[in-house]
């Protein structure tokens, strides 16, 4: 067919390759971006700034770090996409604005009505060998200071600061515990679902859709449990930490979706 006209053959082959590439591009997702804005009520949350909680307690924050992981997206048709675990362990740090943006690649195209995630690190990953806990879970790197030991695992949420009502003028909340490896312990893993309401998330091939979340630290002290700094200013691996884990669920709410 093309024996006497190699130019025609090259043209047709090039057209087929171009069509194939475009078809592939049209079915590949650009992923999604989750961006978290940190507040105390309606004030931007910043290190060393002074705030007053619902109980009249003044305080400032010196450190805030927390893990979000195990993301799932629920489609409008009822199906669910589970993000591969290797792509969904994020360590957010207040003093590192770049960590406020969480990128999840390769989300299948379509409309999604909600997203779910864990506040913390799942029990399976807590018990894996160190070579399986890399990146944000590397206890000798990014996760330094966010890990206790094999049986208690990662610190899921760490908040430290100063307050005149705290012991020695300070407070410290290190919340973690996945249920234990060799013996049963506290399980402070919590899950959160964000519903998108009337604006479903549309994952498309030409750009990354964005989910904007609001983090309100005021909820950590009041919802659903009333937790005064004056009553407990140093909480780590103790039964009362479960109440702080409960409250951490309400830290996050939807701001808006940008398709």
Encode pLDDT of 116-126 as tens digits.
Answer: 999 999 999 99
Tokens representing 137 are: 């879970």
pLDDT at 5: 58
Q: Round to whole Å and give the CA distance between 79 and 178.
A: 28
Residues 6+ apart with CB under 8 A from 140: none
Low-confidence winner among 13-17, 39-43, 78-82, 230-234 (lowest mean pLDDT) = 13-17
Do residues 104 and 32 make contact, with C-beta atoms less than 8 angstroms apart? Answer: yes
Instruction: Give the tens place of pLDDT for each residue, 139-150.
Output: 999 999 999 987
Residue whose tokens read 């012991």: 167
Do 107 and 196 form a contact (C-beta atoms < 8 A)?
A: no
Euclidean distance between CA atoms 83 and 118, whole angstroms = 12
Per-residue pLDDT, averaged over 103-132, amounts to: 95
Please tell me which residue, 124 or 5, carries the higher pLDDT value: 124
Lowest mean pLDDT among 59-63, 202-206, 211-215: 202-206
Least reliable range by pLDDT among 72-76, 128-132, 234-238: 128-132
- Enumerate the β-bridge partners of residue 174: 158
What's the maximum distance between 2 C-alpha atoms anywhere in the chain? 91
Does pLDDT of 21 surpass 50? no
* Segments making up each domain of the chain, as ranges: 1-30, 32-258
Q: Is the pLDDT of residue 229 over 90?
A: yes
Q: Taking residues 34-47, what's their average pLDDT?
A: 98
Contact of 106 with 29, CB cutoff 8 Å: yes
**Reported confidence tier of residue 183, pLDDT bands at 50, 70, 90:** confident
Q: Scanning the structure block, which residue is given the tokens 């249920």?
A: 179
Q: Mean pLDDT check: name the lowest of 9-23, 96-110, 199-213, 238-252.
A: 9-23
H or E element at residue 74: strand 58-75
The number of helices, as runs of H, and strands, as runs of E, in the chain is 3, 15
Stretch 244-255: mean pLDDT = 99
Start-to-end CA span in the chain (Å) = 48
Which residues touch 87 (CB under 8 Å, ≥6 apart)?
104, 105, 106
Residue 226 has pLDDT above 70, yes or no: yes
Residue 101 makes CB contacts below 8 A (sequence gap 6+) with 33, 34, 35, 36
């Amino acid at each position: 067919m093309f024996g006497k006209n190699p130019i025609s053959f090259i043209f047709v082959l090039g057209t087929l390759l171009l069509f194939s590439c475009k078809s592939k591009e049209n079915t590949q997702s650009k992923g999604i971006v989750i961006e978290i804005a940190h507040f105390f009520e309606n004030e931007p949350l910043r290190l060393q700034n002074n705030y007053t909680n619902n109980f009249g307690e003044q305080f400032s924050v010196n450190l805030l770090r927390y893990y979000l992981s195990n993301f799932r997206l629920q489609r409008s048709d009822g199906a669910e996409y589970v993000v591969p675990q290797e792509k969904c362990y994020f360590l957010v740090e207040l003093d590192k604005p770049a960590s406020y943006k969480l990128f999840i690649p390769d989300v299948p195209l379509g409309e999604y009505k909600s997203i779910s995630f864990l506040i913390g690190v799942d029990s399976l990953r807590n018990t894996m060998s160190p070579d399986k806990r890399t990146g944000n879970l590397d206890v000798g790197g990014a996760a330094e200071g966010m890990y206790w030991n094999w049986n208690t695992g990662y610190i899921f949420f760490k908040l430290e600061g100063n307050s005149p009502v705290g012991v020695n003028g300070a407070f410290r909340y290190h919340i973690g515990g996945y249920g234990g490896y060799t013996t049963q312990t506290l399980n402070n893993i919590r899950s959160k679902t964000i519903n998108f309401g009337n604006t479903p998330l549309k994952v498309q091939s030409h750009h990354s859709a964005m989910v904007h979340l609001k983090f309100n630290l005021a909820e950590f002290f009041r919802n659903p449990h009333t937790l005064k700094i004056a009553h407990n200013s140093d909480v780590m691996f103790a039964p009362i930490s479960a109440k702080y884990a409960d409250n951490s669920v309400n830290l996050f709410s939807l701001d808006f979706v940008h398709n």
